[in-house]
């Protein structure tokens, strides 16, 4: 366990706030700022030094998971007004997993940079981070960590359960499953189209324990959201109540000067890592938590993920690892029950602070589990070793990530012949070829899909199997890449291989026919060639010549770090604080 942080001491109130530098007084500049705001009908006494709360809203009609956040923003505003604050809704960059190409991950960092500058450059004393879709949660948390302005997370919540012919349909998970079934000849294209209607039947994010629900859980486990926030369905009235309560709470956080750096300590990140193992959370949480920690100034590494998660059992029985969906998780008691179980097992820093002003243990110690098939007892886990496995070896000197709860046990120790796809286009050109030299004992290897390579590190690591393998009834093979995979996906998929191929990592020089050994219990990933042969291949390697197509793509390509450090832009790391800056008028 890491060292206990010093107790939080609320700042004295009343005091001068950031916003008073814009709005308080009678100078020309003050009248300039205040006067223009009054054109919206705001009375003069709203500018009397009360907390100005920025509702950082990732609503967008092209981010369907967040399509209902305008309604939630109104409830947040009601809470802020009730607590004596002044709410202002601020639209911010919204990176949609559903629509952005080449991948939403490429835009997480620009979204984080944009929200940081909006928080830093405007008269905001506290922020409500209104998020939902995969990258919106980490990007806004990264921005808030960089400015260290009091902030609270409100997520939009998951969709209701999908149902198709009497069976639960998990968004994302069912997509991968049905798609493979069509290729295997087990499902017709017409049935697949019929199932589509059941995959997204209400507002909200994925209803599986995909990346959106995982990051909502991470925000709560870090202490950055009110207890119980993560699992409430998007259309449940309690989601709107949570938004209103969060609006009330942020006003007091400003008065107390309770900042992200007070909450997101090393202890909090260790709590989140263990929580991720217990819920069977997304591999994407690894990258996002590393990036958030880098922004707030906490030294977090892949080794911490392996150390903290190795002995944590997965007890949440949700797709893609299990059989239920987020709706049942909420009814069973949600994340507070999981946190209580971790605390009872001695795997929770109980005195970690939360946005409520209370410790995380005080928030969860009295909750009850209402369904022990959804949230399992400690002696009946879904998977004994649920934490992320960090593999290292000559193929991944800086590490690679595997999710044991989504993998096939018989493949966790495996030796196979490499079948190499040089990039995603090469994979698409070859995978359906009946003459492809591959069988179920082989290891599929995909290159140039990392932060620099794709660019942006797309969710293509869970490569679909060749149809001729699927027709044999085989549903899983070992797959290795420098890519990510959707949190809704499953399989024995080794991801985030670092250094990535585009940065000259050993993955770049794997050849067809090479033997690769995977030993998850020993955390080993080895390309079976000599050190001399590996060095010779790397000496002959040349980086891809393709140039990024846009200004931001250029910036991203030249400044993005590796997956092992969170894939953030190198110049954005560290907490820069909430300086007011100079008035330019």
In a domain, 557, yes or no: yes
Q: Assess contact for 106 and 5: CB atoms under 8 A.
A: no
Domain that holds residue 537: 389-564
Cβ atoms of 245 and 226 closer than 8 Å = yes
Q: Which tokens is 185 given?
A: 């000849």
For residue range 145-195, list pLDDT tens digits in order: 999 999 999 999 999 988 888 888 887 778 878 888 888 889 899 988 888
Express each pLDDT in 102-146 by its tens digit.
899 999 999 999 999 999 999 999 999 999 999 999 999 999 999
Residues 192 and 230 reside in one and the same domain:
no
Q: Is the peptide bond before 134 cis (omega within 30 degrees of 0)?
A: no
Distance of alpha carbon 124 from alpha carbon 85, whole angstroms: 11
Percent of the chain residues topping a pLDDT of 70: 98
188 plus 229 within the same structural domain: no
Classify residue 474 as exposed, middle or buried by CB count within 10 Å of its CB (0-12, 13-18, 19+): middle
Looking at residue 376, its pLDDT comes to 97
278 and 426 inside one domain:
no
Q: Helix, strand, or coil here: 348?
A: coil
Looking at the structure, tell me whether residues 359 and 243 fall in a common domain: yes
**453 within domain boundaries:** yes
Lowest mean pLDDT segment, chosen from 157-166, 370-379, 533-542: 157-166
Identify whether the C-beta of residue 380 lies closer than 8 Å to the C-beta of residue 324: no
Q: Please, what is the average pLDDT of the chain?
A: 94
Residue bearing the bigger pLDDT, 406 or 483: 483
49-63, 306-320, 441-455, 536-550: least confident range: 536-550
Both 240 and 342 in one domain: the answer is yes
* The residue count for the chain: 585
Same domain membership, residue 415 and residue 294:
no
Provide Rg for the chain, Cα atoms. 24
Q: Which of 89, 92, 59 is nearest to 77 (CA)?
A: 89
Nearest CA to 526 out of 391, 397, 395, 398 is that of 395
Q: Is residue 5 part of a domain?
A: no
470 contacts 180 by C-beta, under 8 angstroms:
yes
Domain of residue 493, CATH code? 3.50.30.80
CB 421 within 8 A of CB 430: yes
Q: Are residues 177 and 134 in the same domain?
A: no
- Under the phi-then-psi rule, with left for phi > 0, alpha for psi from -120 to 50, and beta for the rest, what region is 321? alpha
* Cβ neighbours of residue 488 closer than 8 Å, sequence gap 6 or more: 170, 171, 172, 173, 175, 176, 206, 208, 210, 211, 319, 320
Same domain for 167 and 149: no
What Å distances lie between residue 179 and 184, 288, 338, 430, 467, CA to CA? 9, 28, 32, 17, 11
| 73 touches 55 (CB < 8 A) | yes
* 195 lies in the same domain as 273: no
Within a domain: residue 27?
no
> What average pLDDT score do residues 303-326 get?
94
> How many structural domains are present in the chain?
3
Q: Which residues are CB-contacts of 177 (< 8 A; sequence separation ≥ 6)?
A: none
Give the 3-state secondary structure percentages of the chain, helix then strand then coil, rounded to 5: 40, 15, 45
Same domain, 281 and 181: no
Q: Which residue has the tokens 């814009």?
A: 22
The Cα 334–Cα 318 span in angstroms is: 12
Residues 381-400: pLDDT tens digits? 998 888 899 999 999 999 99
Tell me the C-alpha distance between 283 and 494, whole Å: 10
């Amino acid at each position: 366990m890491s060292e206990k942080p010093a107790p939080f001491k609320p700042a004295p109130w009343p005091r001068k706030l950031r916003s008073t530098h814009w709005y308080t007084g009678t100078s020309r500049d003050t009248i300039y700022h205040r006067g223009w705001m009054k054109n919206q009908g705001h009375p003069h006494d709203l500018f009397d030094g009360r907390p100005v709360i920025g509702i950082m809203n990732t609503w967008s009609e092209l981010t369907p998971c967040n399509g209902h956040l305008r309604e939630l923003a109104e409830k947040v505003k009601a809470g802020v007004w009730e607590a004596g604050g002044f709410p202002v809704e601020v639209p911010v960059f919204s990176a949609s997993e559903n629509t952005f190409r080449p991948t939403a991950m490429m835009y997480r960092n620009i979204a984080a940079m944009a929200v940081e500058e909006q928080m830093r450059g405007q008269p905001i004393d506290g922020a409500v981070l209104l998020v939902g879709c995969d990258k919106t949660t980490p990007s806004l948390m990264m921005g808030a960590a960089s400015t260290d302005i009091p902030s609270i997370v409100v997520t939009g919540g998951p969709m209701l359960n999908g149902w198709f012919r009497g069976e639960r349909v998990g968004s994302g998970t069912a997509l991968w499953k049905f798609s493979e079934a069509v290729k295997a000849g087990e499902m017709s294209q017409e049935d697949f189209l019929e199932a589509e209607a059941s995959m997204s039947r209400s507002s909200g994010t994925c209803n599986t324990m995909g990346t959106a629900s995982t990051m909502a859980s991470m925000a709560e486990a870090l202490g950055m959201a009110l207890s119980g926030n993560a699992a409430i369905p998007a259309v449940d009235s309690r989601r709107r109540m949570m938004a209103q309560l969060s609006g009330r709470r942020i006003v007091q956080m400003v008065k107390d000067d309770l900042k992200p750096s007070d909450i997101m300590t090393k202890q909090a990140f260790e709590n989140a890592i263990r929580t991720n193992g217990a819920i069977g959370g997304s591999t994407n949480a690894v990258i996002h938590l590393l990036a958030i920690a880098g922004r707030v100034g906490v030294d977090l590494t892949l080794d911490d993920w392996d150390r903290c998660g190795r002995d944590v059992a997965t007890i949440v029985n949700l797709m893609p690892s299990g059989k239920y969906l987020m709706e049942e998780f909420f009814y069973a008691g949600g994340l507070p029950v999981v946190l209580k179980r971790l605390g009872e097992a001695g795997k929770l820093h109980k005195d970690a602070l939360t946005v409520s002003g209370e410790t995380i243990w005080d928030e969860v110690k009295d909750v009850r589990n209402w369904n022990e098939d959804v949230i399992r007892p400690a002696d009946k886990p879904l998977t004994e070793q649920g934490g992320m496995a960090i593999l290292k070896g000559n193929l991944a000197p800086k590490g690679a990530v595997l999710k044991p709860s989504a993998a096939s046990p018989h493949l966790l120790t495996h030796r196979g012949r490499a079948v190499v796809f040089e990039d995603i286009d090469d994979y698409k050109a070859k995978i359906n070829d009946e003459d492809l030299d591959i069988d179920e004992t082989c290891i599929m290897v995909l290159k140039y899909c990392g932060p620099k390579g794709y660019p942006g590190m797309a969710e293509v690591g869970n490569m679909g199997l060749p149809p001729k393998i699927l027709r044999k009834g085989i549903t899983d093979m070992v797959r290795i890449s420098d890519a990510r995979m959707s949190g809704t996906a499953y399989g024995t998929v080794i991801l985030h291989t670092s250094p990535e191929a585009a940065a000259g990592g050993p993955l770049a020089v794997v050849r067809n026919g090479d033997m690769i050994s995977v030993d998850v219990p020993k955390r080993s990933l080895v390309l079976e060639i000599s050190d001399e042969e590996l060095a010779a291949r790397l000496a002959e390697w040349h980086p891809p010549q393709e140039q990024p197509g846009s200004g931001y793509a250029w910036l991203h390509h030249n400044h993005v770090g590796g997956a092992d450090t969170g894939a953030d832009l190198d110049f954005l790391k560290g907490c820069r604080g909430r300086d007011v800056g100079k008035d330019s008028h």
